[in-house]
Copies of this chain bind each other. A is one copy, B any other.
Amino acid sequence: MNFSSDNVTGVAPEIMAALVATNQDAATPYGEDRATQRLQDRFSELFENEVAVFPVVTGSAANSLALSVLTPPFGAIYCHEVSHINLDECGAPEFYTGGAKLVTLKGEAGKISSADLAKQLATAGTGVVHRVQPAAVSITQATEAGTVYSLDEVRAIAQVTHSHNLKLHVDGARFANALVTLGCTPAEATWKAGVDVLSFGATKNGAMAAEAVIFFEPELAASLGYRRKRSGHLLSKMRFLSAQLEAYLQDDLWLKNGAFANLMADRLATGLAAIPGVELRYPVQANEIFVYLPETVITELFASGFKFYRWEPGGDISLVRLVTAFNTQPDAIAAFVETVKSCLIIP
């Protein structure tokens, strides 16, 4: 009954089992173990191309490490104004880059548009010493609004990005949820569409604490190992991090978990949208629902034990966010919808 976030969840049983299974014998530390070595092949296979993979424990670390190799200290990173890197990481990208600037773009439903990006870059002052120098574009897939960039949208952004000699980073904290919606291959969703670096999230979708920075041009990653160590993100018992990622990929667990979360979100959204007086804020394309609810309903939901965030508190009506996950109970979905109905539909 907790729809606050997908990070309130525990660990998927398959992943916990992998951790237990990994706990045998000694292993070479700092990523020189076999599980970590296997990851390179495993991800290269998954993405149909040779990639460089760096496991870390948080999405903030993944994003910031990725951006730190794309952006010089005097660089600029273009991103949506509500992006996690801009709003929710306490300045991590600025820290890791040595003081780069995040230049924010507005955009409906959590998305930046290639047109707005092109417009901004056209007057950014490339080559002018007084101005921070455009270096990277970062988009979030799925977005903070629970929407998903179409492949055409990604391609258009990548085209603008590359035409200005910038690199394209994707914050994929909910990449599995996005990929399920896109219905394409991981390769199609990333480097084939022009993505240069991906923060590949697993924590929100069933891992304990596991993300991976994935470079589609491995040579871009030359300094990443040093930067990861220097930021305290090179685990000595790395195999326990790598084991999570291996289990996450094993038998498409990541896609199954993502698909289930999306299904639950779709069911919840459909149920709510059918109720008069309830309005969805954005199309529901992944596992997050933004919905306007009367405060009377919100009060009743809280009283019934549901947990979630008022995203934008209003007067009579507030915008709330509901997040589903790999282990959401279908019963909880039904109960939530029923509770709302009971408040709003006069029998």
Q: Is the CB of B60 within 8 A of A57?
A: no
Q: Quick one: which of B20, B209, B232 contacts A61, CB cutoff 8 A?
A: B232
Min C-beta distance of A196 to chain B, whole Å: 20
Q: Which of A17-31 contact B (CB under 8 A)?
A: 19-20, 22-30
Q: How far is the CA of A232 from the CA of B29 in the complex (A)?
A: 21
Q: Quick one: which of B60, B100, B230, B234 contacts A229, CB cutoff 8 A?
A: B60
Among A29, A129, A223, A225, max chain B CB count under 10 A is at A129
- The answer, yes or no, to whether A92 is at the interface (CB within 8 Å) is yes
Stretch at the interface among A1-9, A44-52, A272-280: A1-9
Q: Is the CB of B100 within 8 A of A74?
A: no
> Chain A interface mostly helix, strand, loop or mixed?
loop
Q: How far is the CA of A56 from the CA of B133 in the complex (A)?
A: 22
Contacts of A2 in B (CB 8 A): 26
- The answer, yes or no, to whether A95 is at the interface (CB within 8 Å) is yes
- The answer, yes or no, to whether A72 is at the interface (CB within 8 Å) is yes
Which residues of A pack against B, CB within 8 Å? 2, 4-5, 7-11, 16, 19-20, 22-30, 56-62, 64-65, 72-74, 87-92, 94-95, 97-102, 129-133, 203-204, 208-209, 223, 225-237, 240-241, 307
Q: Show 6 residue pairs from A and B whose CB-CB distance is below 8 angstroms, ordered by the A residue.
A: A5-B236, A9-B237, A10-B27, A30-B130, A90-B132, A98-B98
Task: Apart from A91-B99, A91-B100, A231-B231, list 7 A-B contacts with CB within 8 A.
Answer: A7-B30, A11-B237, A74-B230, A91-B132, A129-B226, A129-B228, A208-B240
